[in-house]
Structure formats: structure tokens, C-alpha cells
Amino acid sequence: MRAPLSPFRWIAPLVCLLAAAVPSGAQVTGSIAGTVKDASGAVLPGATITVSGPALQREKATAVSASDGTYRVPLLPPGVYVVGVELSGFKPISRQNLDVALNRQTTVDLTLGLASVNEEVSVTGSSPVVETTRSDITNRVTTRTIDALPLNGRNFTDLVALVPGARPVPEGQQGTNVSIFGERGAATSFLVDGAENNDPLEGGAALRYTQDSIQEFEVITTGYEAEFGRAQGGIVNVITRSGTNLFDGRAFWFRRDDAMDASNVPNQKVPKLARDQWGATLGGPIKRDRAYFFGSFERLGETRGVNINRAAIPSFIASGIATPSGTEDFGIAPETTGLTGLGKADYVFNAANRLSVTVNGNNQDVSGEISSPVAGTTALPSAARTQGSDGFASIARLTSVLSDRTYLESTVGYTSTSSGTNLNQNQRSEPLLILLRSGFMQTGAPFGGKTERDRDRLQVSQSLTRAANDWHGDHQLKVGWDFNHVGLTGLNEVTNDVEYSAAFLAPDPNAVNADLFRRLGFAQSAARFFTLSSSPDGSLNLDIRSNDLGCLRRTRGRWHPGSR
């Protein structure tokens, strides 16, 4: 597997992103729009609309109603806002607690009364429930849901299962752990801060993000627009948290152990379990109303015991003679370590331009994983496998308001990940299946051999949006482009020679197997003693793979009759 990530590997791509700074594809902001009218229903042009809130990362955003009374305030980070409107000769009013969601337009129609006295009207209300400007089917998972619901393993993607039409995927399916409308889990596309976070080989999310670094996400199940693209299942559009003018931090620690556990095997000690998952977040201003930071990290450490019925293992297998090393170490147990971290910086150049840079890294290593892909098989510690993964992603996003009706979003993203299994092996992987009347027992090595995969993705995208209200209604015209380069390299050092040692039809299969292993060692496997193949002329070729077989013995390269 790759060497541990050095600081240069984190910094160099980030520098390139900033240098590229082309001013994105998927929408990661929201907007507020509506119509300003007087008490009689006549439209009011020239009214000044002001939007403010802690998520805005500047004092306020403004717009002026057009000749037909309509207005639009675009590129608002998701959050809670206050909308105020003023026009000479009318009472100023404000609307409180308006929720702006990811990739959604919040419609706020405003009605002004004549200013008979110097007063201001304040209205507290919620955002409309019905989204009238979109035809797709989408569901929003809010910050409150992400913070409040308990998650086993603290993987936010499990919350996708809350969406109607989503369900857990069958065991062993590639990709994410959720299927949308019956599609494969790998058919779901993940976007983070406007850039793709998809594994080009296995499907699903390429990198893990900490639960506390996610502000909210939407799941688009069908009817999504062309800007999302490249997905058969659904779209999970994610935005990460940002700092604000207020310092905010939190810390957590979750522990699970075997104190209240019981063993599945009678009269056997409870298997060990010690799982600690802890981390923290911190965000705030670098310079008020100008620059902000946010950081989050999460650490995982887990050790599990092996809950194998030792009484059902024949003594010759437990002794280790059915392994290449001659030892079956029952002290081997699954152990998992992982670290995930995110850093984010936001800079507001002016009222029209805002830059956001996100860097996320993740690594996880699993050793001593004891399992078998063969149904009904009991895998022993000598068949344990290892697997590991690491990677990082850098995302730079620039949003620019070109005019009161035109705005540009630009995104550059680079993701690099590496994963592998059994990378510590230095000899051929040779699993052995011992067939007994009670079923298979696997020893010797894990299935699959040594594998490694390296993935890289470079994405550059832009979208230009123009709001038009002068042609039979209110319209949004959007054009864009997306360059997406994916690289995939790796190796499969698979020389598996799956062996079967079978004597289950004998009166005493354990004794027969024990005798074979004792005399011939691990390489004795009955399945490879000999192979018969037919030649075109009808003769049989006998391929002997053992130096000692039945009444034949091989000495100095020649076979001759002998005895055991």
C-alpha cells in the first residue's frame, strides 16, 4: 500500500487548486426570491430587499425589485435568514426565521402598506413547504437530523436510508450501503461541496467525512437536472460546515465494550470488544465578515475477540499442522484503526465574490479480519486477512455575482485514494478448505490474494445562471461545462490455489485428515495429489503434484513403486 500521506501530498494539490482559481457544477447554495406588492396587489418596482443571517458570512446581501416587482437573492449558504424590504412611502417590513436550504429557492412574497406613521412591521414565519420551482423528487436531511439521530459507526451516509424509496443494500453489494428505488448501491452518486466524491471502481463514496463536518445534504431520487449527471440511482448532494462570526466547538467520545455482552458459544469466554470513537470540531472567524475557518477530526480504535466454538475444532486443526507455519494462533483478532479529518476556509472578497476551500483526509486499517466467502465455512485465524485505505480530497469553489440576475459558480476538485488487501503477504496466498461432516474449515490464508488499487480524479466545472423574468414568467437559464479525468491503477497478485482436503466419507474423517497432515504437511492437499487429463489420441496424462502418493514414490526426479 502507499506510504502514509505526507504533508506535501496534502498541500501541493491545494496550491494547484488555488493557482487554477478558475472561477462548479452542482448547486451547493440556496436562494430567496419573490414579488413585492402593495396592499391592493399592484407590483412595486425599486424596492430594496435586504437579507441577513449568521450563515451569510458578511453583513448583508441586497437586491432591488424589477419592473414587475420580482426580486432574487442568489448564492446564499444554507441557514436561517431575515428578509427586510424598504420603499419610500411604504412601511418597511421584515420576515424572520426563513430557512434557506441546499439547492432550493425559498419563495418570499412581500406586501407593503402605506406609511401613515413611522413604524416597521415584523412577521415571523416559516419557509413554504412546497417547492414550486423544481420538478425533481428530493428529500432534505438537515443539520438538526444529522446532529440528533444516533448512528452506529457515525457514518452520515446511513441517513440516506431515511429517504422514501431507499433501503439497505444486500450484504456484500458494492458501493454505498443504501439502494434507491432498487438500483445497485454503486449507482448512487455522491457530491461534496459541488465536486464528485465517487469511487470509480467500486461505486459509492470515495472518501469518508466526519458526521460533525456535514451541514446538510439532499437526496434527489429521480428527475434530477443535467448538472448532476452520471448516476443511475440517486444523487446525494452534500455541503460541509463553515465557520461564522461566532466561535463554535464541540467534542465527543463514544465507547462500546464487552461489559454487558454474552458469548454465543456455551461455556466459552465472552469475546473481547473495545471500541472507542472520539473527535472534535471548531469553527469561527479569522477576520470578522471577511475570513472564516472550520476544522473537524474523528479517531476510531476497535479491537474484537474471535467468537469461534473451539470445542468443534478437531485437535489436529487446532494444533496448527493444517497451516503453512504449523501454528494456529487463536490470539489473532480483528483490529481497526482510523482517522478522518477536515479543514475548511472561507474568504469573502466583496459582496459579489466568495471563495471556499475544503481539504479532507481519511485512512483506515483493518487487520486480523477472520471470515470466509464460502457459505457454511468456519474460518480460523490463519486465514485472517488485512485491508487498508487512505486518501484525501481538495475542493476550491468560487461563487461570483456578475449582476443582479446573473451569477457564476466555479469548482476545482482533486481526489486521490488508495486501498488494498493482504499487502503484508510475502508468499503465495494458498487457502485450504478442510471438508468435514460438520462443514468446511478454512485455514492457511485468506481468499483473494494481494490486491491494490490507486484512484485519482481531477474535476473542473463551471455553471452560469441567468434569471429571466421578462418572457412570459420567471425563468432560470443555466449553462455549464464539466471536465472530469479519472485515473485507476493497481495490481492483483492472485496466485490462489484453493485446496480441498476431503475425507468426510471415511468412517473417521478426522483421523484420516490428521494422518495426512502429520505425514505430508500443509502441502498435502488431497485435491492436488494428481490431475488426470485426456490427450487427443485418447491416452491419459498423469500429473503428479506430490513427492509421496500412495504406493508411488519420487526419488531424484524419477517415480518408482514404493510404500507409505
Query: Tens of pLDDT along 211-233?
Result: 999 999 999 988 888 788 777 88
Helix (H) or strand (E) holding 20: helix 7-20
Q: Confirm if 334 and 275 have CB atoms less than 8 A apart.
A: no
Which SS3 state, helix, strand or coil, does residue 136 take? coil
Confidence of residue 502 (pLDDT cuts 50, 70, 90): low
Sign of CA dihedral 322, 327, 328, 333: negative
Sign of CA dihedral 332, 385, 523, 307: positive
pLDDT tens digits, one per residue of 406-448: 999 999 999 999 999 988 877 766 788 887 777 788 888 888 7
Which SS3 state, helix, strand or coil, does residue 70 take? strand
pLDDT at 401: 92
pLDDT tens digits, one per residue of 144-166: 999 988 888 898 888 888 888 88
Q: Among the listed ranges 221-235, 268-282, 523-537, which one has the minimum average pLDDT value? A: 523-537
User: What would the mean pLDDT of 86-95 be, rounded to a whole number?
Assistant: 91
User: What would the mean pLDDT of 506-534 be, rounded to a whole number?
Assistant: 61
HEC assignment per residue over 165-234: CEEECCCCCCCCCEEECCCCHHHCEEEECCEECECCCCCCECCCCCHHHEEEEEEEEECCCCCCCCCCCC
Q: 16 pLDDT exceeds 50? A: no
Distances (CA, A) of 462 to 73, 131, 214, 229, 234: 20, 25, 23, 14, 22
Confidence of residue 533 (pLDDT cuts 50, 70, 90): very low
Distances (CA, A) of 326 to 199, 367, 523: 40, 20, 11
Helix (H) or strand (E) holding 17: helix 7-20
Task: Name residue 343's beta-bridge partners.
Answer: 295, 359
Q: CA-CA-CA-CA torsion for 401, 405, 406, 412, nearest 10 degrees?
A: 50
Confidence of residue 488 (pLDDT cuts 50, 70, 90): very high
HSE (side-chain half, CA atoms, 13 Å) at 559: 11
Confidence of residue 332 (pLDDT cuts 50, 70, 90): confident
Here the cell at position 256 is 462500546
Q: Confirm if 356 and 415 have CB atoms less than 8 A apart.
A: no
Here the cell at position 459 is 474535476
- Rounded Cα distance, 60 and 82, in Å: 10
- Write the CB contacts of 119 (distance below 8 Å, at least 6 apart in sequence): 91
Q: 379 pLDDT exceeds 70? A: yes
Going from the N-terminus, what domains does the chain have, and what CATH number goes with each? 7-24+135-493 (2.170.130.10), 30-124 (2.60.40.1120), 513-561 (no CATH)
pLDDT tens digits, one per residue of 152-202: 889 888 888 888 888 877 665 665 678 888 888 788 899 999 999 999 888
pLDDT at 540: 41
Sign of CA dihedral 12, 14, 17, 18: negative
- Give the number of residues written for the chain: 564
pLDDT at 442: 87
Q: CA-CA-CA-CA torsion for 505, 506, 510, 511, nearest 10 degrees?
A: -170
Q: What are phi and psi of 514, to 5 degrees?
A: -60, -40
Helix (H) or strand (E) holding 16: helix 7-20
Helix (H) or strand (E) holding 358: strand 353-369
Percent of the chain with pLDDT over 90: 43
Q: 466 pLDDT exceeds 70? A: yes
What is the DSSP code (8-state) at residue 311?
G
Tell me the residue type at 140: R
pLDDT at 1: 43
Which SS3 state, helix, strand or coil, does residue 21 take? coil
- Rounded Cα distance, 297 and 204, in Å: 22
pLDDT at 61: 92
Here the cell at position 348 is 469573502
Here the cell at position 19 is 493557482
Q: Give this prediction's pTM.
A: 0.79
What is the DSSP code (8-state) at residue 330?
T
- Rounded Cα distance, 422 and 429, in Å: 9
The residue ranges of DSSP E strands in 288-334, in sequence order, are 291-304
pLDDT tens digits, one per residue of 119-147: 555 555 555 545 656 666 788 999 999 99
